[in-house]
Amino acid sequence: MRRLGEHRGRAADHRGHRLAHREQGVRGERHDHGEQGLPAAVVGVGDVGVERLGLSDLPLGHGVARHAPCVARGRRAGAHPRRYRAPGSVVSVTTRTPRRRAPRRALAALALVGLLPALGLVACSSEDGGAQASTDTTSSADTGSPSASTSTSTSTSTSTSTATGDGPVYVAIGDSYTAAPLVPTTDLNDGCLQSDGNYPHLVAAALGASLTDVSCSGATTSSLVGVQTTMDGVAHPAQFDALTADTTLVTVSIGGNDQDLFSSMLGGCVQLATSGQGRTPCADATSEAEVEKTLATIRSHVRAALEGVADRSPDARVLAVGYPQIVPASGSCPRLLPVASGDLPFIRSVNRGLTDAVEEAAKRAGVEYVDVWAATAGHDICADDPWIQGQRTDTSAALSFHPFAAEQQAVADAVLAVLQG
């Protein structure tokens, strides 16, 4: 078994220079997302492109989701931590205190989210195009990663979900596919919708690790180096702030929200399915070259992020965690995934393209990769035993287009298999 905290051999006097270089790579330059990546015809569910699609009056598009109180990380001001002890483990996790009854405003927002066909991986992204760290930042160009901006919010959260244990010093970084919104038990007062049943908690319990889980629904690679602002105006520090020289294990699952990839794909394809533009309206709205350009940008962002982790925690074992199979290889389920049947191969190819981009980024960054795609085979939205929630209003087990508890257990098992391999 590879030693946790294997030394990467970087000299201390070189790390400062490399860190500055990675910061530049992750921050990138500011550009109009509408002019690069997926075309506006596909991006249409975001603020860029809805008018070009003729969907400016879209009632449940991604733009609406950006205004719901739905993305945060850490405890709210005044919240009190509780102690959570996973059954049969030695890990104790300090999490936010869940209220049994969430405010009506939060529940109403979740009801809306449960109906959102355009949600994709975003949960309720606070980022425009998956590239903003706050509302005053625009997306990056292909040559750089998302810009990290400062927030104009006057309310700031500085705490995160932490743990104590005798095992590895573990930091979990990621978006909603790590946070696992609405997987029991999720604190509805926490805008990140981070579940204490997500895979970082399961891994920490198995290892007896000291866990700091900063995963947050809506996070992009820009959220790793810059402030992420919640939909209720609360700003949270960069996820990288959780990394220290003492960190010995880091899992990173990020990239799905960059460039509005999955929110654009699912949301745009759902809307185009009713446009009367043939069997493949979503695939017809873009080109292979444009999709590859978007995926190449994400690959660059994720690689810079992974290298940034290594610079901040040089003794840590870093694992890049991929994304699951969301749509089926064949067949369809219009009630759960209401897209044009002819577009399913295109959507699956983008789903696989994101996974491949993360895997290639891991390879280029020199870190290990956790193959979630393989681990979730046969458990897509349309499967007999789905591990991904479809378009449903039932929010008791998972958010629409997000993982169930079974998927999180499978990811945890895959992470542990790599660690113990």
Residue with tokens 């109009």: 32
Whether the Cβ atoms of residue 216 and residue 73 lie closer than 8 Å to each other: yes
Phi and psi at 84, nearest 5°, equal -115, 130
Tell me which residues are annotated as active site: 176, 402
Classify residue 7: in a domain, yes or no. no
Instruction: Count CA atoms within 13 Å of residue 402 on its CB side.
Output: 35
Classify residue 1: in a domain, yes or no. no
338 token code pair: 């209401």
Nearest alpha carbon to residue 238 among 297, 296, 171, 180: 171
248-265 in b/e burial notation, b at 16+ Cβ within 10 A? bbbbbbbbbbbbbbbbbb
Cα–Cα separations (whole angstroms), residue 296 to 35, 38, 79:
16, 12, 41
Classify residue 6: in a domain, yes or no. no
CATH of residue 51's domain is 3.40.50.1110
Residues β-bridged to residue 94:
83, 162
Q: How far apart, in whole angstroms, are the C-alpha atoms of residue 139 and residue 124?
A: 17
Split into its structural domains, the chain has a count of 1
201 token code pair: 């908690």
Local confidence pLDDT in tens for the 421 residues of the chain:
444 444 444 434 444 444 555 555 555 433 333 333 443 333 322 222 222 222 222 222 222 223 222 333 333 333 333 322 333 333 334 333 333 333 333 333 333 333 233 333 333 444 433 333 332 333 333 334 433 333 333 345 543 666 677 899 999 999 999 999 999 998 777 778 899 999 999 999 999 999 999 999 889 999 999 998 867 677 878 999 999 999 999 999 999 999 988 777 777 888 899 888 889 999 999 899 999 999 999 999 999 999 999 999 999 999 999 999 999 999 999 999 999 999 999 999 999 999 999 999 999 999 999 999 999 999 999 999 999 999 876 778 999 999 999 999 999 999 999 999 8
Residues β-bridged to residue 369:
320
Domain that holds residue 277: 12-420
What's the pTM?
0.70
